Amino acid sequence: MRRSNAQLAVAIGLALATLTSVSALAQGRIDARRLSCGQARDIVGQYGAVVFTTGRHTYDRYVASERFCPIGHIIQRAWVPTSDAQSCPVGYRCVLDPWDDDERWLRIPR
């Protein structure tokens, strides 16, 4: 009996892991074009960093502040098309800091 309980526990664990990974794959990116400008801004503010689909083949990552950017990056104001505005200011994008000496060494061809 013990062996079958262990096998059942393993089977349940595998089923849960599969369901979790399938639901994560189904989520995808949020399409900013289907949101109102206020909704898009609220989502960025709530989560801090969000990847929005902005066109048929385009997407980008938008952040609420510089603390959501990698080291060596700064923020740059960003706008996206939404259902009620062609250019909605949702937050910022992270871009390389042109004055960061450490990053400059990474870009020099060797």
Cα dist from 104 to 14, 20, 96, 98, 109, whole Å: 47, 41, 10, 8, 10
- Residue 1 has what pLDDT? 46
Record the pTM: 0.67
Q: Of 109 and 94, which is predicted with more confidence?
A: 94
List, for residues 8-24, the tens digit of each pLDDT value: 665 665 555 544 434 44
Do residues 35 and 83 lie in contact, with contact meaning Cβ atoms separated by under 8 Å? yes
Q: What is the pLDDT of residue 26?
A: 42
Question: What are the pLDDT digits (tens) for 49-75?
Answer: 999 999 999 999 999 999 999 999 999
